[in-house]
Chains A and B, each alone.
Chain A
Amino acid sequence: MEYFLQQTINGVTLGAVYALIAIGYTMVYGIIGMINFAHGEIYMIGAFIAVISFSVLGLAGVTWVPLALVIVLIVSMTITGLYGWTVERVAYRPLRGSVRLAPLISAIGMSIFLQNYVQIAQGAKIKPLQPMIRGGVRLMEGEGFSVNVSYLQLIIIAMTIALMAGFTWLIAATSLGRAQRATEQDRVMASLLGVNTDRTISLTFVLGAMLAAVAGVLVTLYYGVVDFYIGFLAGLKAFTAAVLGGIGSLPGAMLGGLLIGLIESYWSAYFSSEYKDVAAFSILVIVLIFRPTGLLGRPEVEKV
């Protein structure tokens, strides 16, 4: 029981990170109907900026952890958001109105480009980060096994919940959120009513990139290492989470992320950690067989 609880805590932490990345996939899919395969790399860039800015802050003598964390989050979100904006502007917008496959291929190209760019600029070696947030809370004392939740895990979970709540509110109740939903549902009509749809789409990429940046910062703190290749698997997992939850659906991305995190954690704990990825992807296949639109997705209705 204690062991199970511990794995749940670990799984939720992991799932929170996947969910943050998955939102970027699902929102972009919702608004322009394409899978942004470069999104995993955007997350990776967010993580690199975290490592770089933590080092710079260390040199500058900012050692108080909460302050450093806030600064790094702001820096990483800003710069990563800029990357997200640029990727859309350079690789996708010129292809708007062409065949559906074109931006998809462009996205794969962008993903390879960003990986190589970071590899060249930062080197292929793994970049370590000193653990900064230590300690935790002992929740339960079992026979020979205790349940711990680290402060870092609490921070990750709390921050994710806060961001998701804020984001849900943004989409549901602000004029930007309405413009996004209107653009998603009928782009031509939105523009007739005065919505600058190109700008709305750009902002969607920026918001998605910012959430991925937060995920990047948190993962860097959690695992303590980054390299230029981490975007590939994390991106694939988050994409899986988005599809599992129902691509295009915001609550779906959150649920999907959580489920993937939990599945991975339980599988590694009870079976073998080598096959945790297989487990996550198998669940995806099984769900898609029975619910092709994902858990919370709505069925594709042919528009008249």
Chain B
Amino acid sequence: MLSLRGIHTYYGAVHALKGVDLEVAEGEIVALIGANGAGKSTLLMTICGNPKPRRGSIELRGQNLIGVPTHNLVRQGLAHAPEGRRIFPRMTVLENLRMGAVASDPAHFDDDLERAFTLFPRLKERRDQRGGTLSGGEQQMLAIARALMSRPRLLLLDEPSLGLAPLVVRQIFEIIKEINQRDGVTVLLVEQNAFHALKLAHRGYVLVNGTITMSGKGADLLNDEQIRAAYLEGGH
């Protein structure tokens, strides 16, 4: 589905990604874990062409993504619920969802909206409320729902659990699982909450200082001594 080879990304003079290789197969949930500042969000944004990588290749279902304008990616089946959720604060929940469907066929808007409201009944109650007035958990739900409105094949999720109460986190992870299993959406998930992410994911990658240091099955990584020490014990 998605294949990254030797990706180098710079922010000005800062060398943020130093030769990242990463594969996501169709139907998988892949978790990318790592500490603050390791370059996880940069990796997701690089896939979206903002910033552009200086070297390396990115392919989505065999199609080269480098040089494709960001606004055209959604038409190739890629959706991103980015860091910080980035809800449009002065638009209603419904308008935010409409923005998610900008590039899709208006004919199936009603079905997609229905599906989003089934996944997140809370959003239905809040549909005419402004995005900026939602709670953190509701904003996260909206960010995921908005991304799903384009019927993506591949969903990039950046820290969906950040700042949320444990109960809400569990809810969100349940829904990610459902999106993956029922709707067949492939998911690349960035998380600091390594425990939840690796439990959910089929496979995982560990990013340290812009380099992948480890990869493997979610369950194996979860049991790895080094990972337990660095990301799970105390941190979780």
Instruction: Give me the interface of A with B, judged by CB distance under 8 Å.
Output: 175, 178-179, 181-182, 185-186, 188-197, 304
Contacts and interface: CB of A to CB of B under 8 A. Distances in A.
Interface of B: 48, 50, 69-75, 80, 82, 84, 86, 88-91, 95, 98-100, 102-103, 146, 150
Contact of B71 (A181, A185, A191, A304): A191
A194 B91 CA distance: 17
Nearest to B84: A304
Residue in A181, A189, A195, A196 whose Cβ sees the most chain B Cβ within 10 Å: A189
Contacts of B102: 175, 179, 193-195
10 contacts: A178-B91, A178-B98, A182-B99, A186-B86, A188-B50, A191-B50, A192-B74, A193-B100, A193-B103, A304-B84
Given A179-B102, A195-B102, A189 B86 contact: yes
Contact of B99 (A178, A196, A197, A304): A178
Given A178-B95, A192-B80, A197 B86 contact: no
Contacts of A197: 71
A291 B192 CA distance: 43
Nearest to B90: A185
A204 B146 CA distance: 25
A198 B116 CA distance: 29
A189 B82 contact: yes
A178 B99 CA distance: 7
Contacts of A196: 69, 71
Contact of A194 (B74, B84, B88): B74
Nearest to B86: A189
A60 to B, nearest CB: 43
Is chain A's binding surface mostly helix, strand, loop or mixed? helix
B82 A185 contact: no
A193 B90 contact: no
A89 to B, nearest CB: 17
Nearest to B75: A194
A185 B86 CA distance: 9
B91 A181 contact: yes
A186 B71 contact: no
Given A181-B88, A192-B48, 9 more contacts: A178-B98, A181-B95, A185-B89, A189-B82, A191-B71, A193-B100, A194-B71, A194-B150, A195-B99
Nearest to B91: A181
Contacts of B100: 193
Nearest to B89: A185
Contacts of A189: 82, 86, 88
Contacts of A191: 50, 69-71
A186 B74 contact: no
Contacts of A186: 86, 88
Contacts of B50: 188, 191-192
Contacts of A304: 84
B91 A188 contact: no
Contacts of A190: 99
A194 B50 CA distance: 13
Nearest to B85: A189
B95 A195 contact: no
Residue in A178, A185, A188, A194 whose Cβ sees the most chain B Cβ within 10 Å: A194
A62 B103 CA distance: 45
A160 B72 CA distance: 37
Contacts of B73: 192, 194
Contacts of B103: 193-194
